[in-house]
Amino acid sequence: MLTRRQFGALALSTVPLARAAKFDSVKIGNQSYSFRDMPLDAAIQAMAAMGLKECELSQGHMEPPKLDREALRKWRLTVPLDEFRGVRKKFDAAGVHLHSYSYNIKDDFTDEEIARGFEMTKALGVNWFTASATVSVTPRIDHYASREKVYVGMHNHANLKDPNEFARPEAWDKAMHGSSKYIAINLDIGHFTAANNDPVEFLLKHHDKILTLHLKDRKKNGGPNMPFGEGDTPIKEVLQVLKKNKYPIYANIEYEYKGGDTVTEVKRCLDYCRNALA
């Protein structure tokens, strides 16, 4: 349940925020990682009260914490899929549209572990997931993506030293060359900026392959996460591109900077997006 302080923060702004969750076809939602310090039921409650009607579910809200690598693999392969179906019902009951899952896939994943991500995604009733992955594992992901007809948005970070990471635009070019249409892009505009790339230019060029954006603010040159509007990420300009061109791309707030109360900070991020689109 929400704390009294969190409930009070929401009560002061529920009506305007409910209107703010969508502007001129721009779908502002959130990555549930923003609420990583809260159990899923409380996170869903906060989203609904805040007017955040779109959500990408973090695997951190599904997987047991503090398992070693082998124990986590075993959990993934044996967890009843009804647990995922039950979570979808919770979102539906709260009036929050669950549109995707995040399931990070690295080179040490077995084929069974990769395939299980697609089963989990389908059990949630969605047809894509996002993945912090590598260029080298992409063909293995694509094998199951094309078979299951489930899209995968490859998520970027800011590690420019490793060419196997998604950090530069060329990484997606390499990964998507020869891949099926089911290999797509999850563009984190904060990490993209921290890697000294231009997210506005990339969005305009590759919008037809972008499933979702992660909205965060970071400084360039690998700089830190910052409160929205205090870093170098052109969040406002990105949102205006979505608005002007009516791109059907989900824009998910990912609160990751050092802040105070989670609900208060996510509300602050949402207010910033609301003002940027006004």
Q: What is the CATH number of the domain that holds 234?
A: 3.20.20.150
Residue 9: its pLDDT value, please? Answer: 52
| Dist. CA 181–CA 176, nearest whole Å | 8
| Dist. CA 100–CA 91, nearest whole Å | 12
| Dist. CA 153–CA 209, nearest whole Å | 9
> Does the structure show a pLDDT above 90 at 14?
no
Across 123-152, b (16+ Cβ under 10 Å) vs e yields bbebebbbbbbbbebbebbbebbeebebbb
180, 145 Cβ separation under 8 angstroms:
yes
Residue 239: inside a domain:
yes
Residue 53: inside a domain:
yes
Residue 166: inside a domain:
yes
**Tens digit of each residue's pLDDT (9 = 90 or more) over 70-128:** 999 999 999 999 999 999 999 999 999 999 999 999 999 999 999 999 999 999 999 99
Residue 15: inside a domain:
no
| Dist. CA 212–CA 214, nearest whole Å | 7
3-state SS, residue 100: strand
Residue 8: its pLDDT value, please? Answer: 52
> Does the structure show a pLDDT above 90 at 13?
no
Could you tell me the residue range of the domain that residue 42 belongs to? Answer: 4-9+27-277
Residue 179: inside a domain:
yes
The token pair that represents 84 in the structure block: 């995922």
> Does the structure show a pLDDT above 70 at 22?
no
The single-letter code of the amino acid at 90 is: K
> Does the structure show a pLDDT above 50 at 245?
yes
| Dist. CA 114–CA 77, nearest whole Å | 10
Residue 176: inside a domain:
yes
Least confident of 17-21, 128-132, 227-231: 17-21
> Does the structure show a pLDDT above 70 at 172?
yes
Number of domains in the chain: 1
- Provide the CB-side half-sphere exposure for 26 (13 A, CA): 27
Residue 88: inside a domain:
yes
| Dist. CA 63–CA 33, nearest whole Å | 12
- Using only C-alpha atoms, the chain has a radius of gyration, in whole angstroms, of 18
Residue 11's pLDDT band (boundaries 50, 70, 90)?
Answer: very low
User: DSSP letters of 102-113?
Assistant: E----TT--HHH
Residue 16: inside a domain:
no
Q: What is the share, in percent, of the chain residues with pLDDT greater than 90?
A: 91
**Tens digit of each residue's pLDDT (9 = 90 or more) over 46-63:** 999 999 999 999 999 999
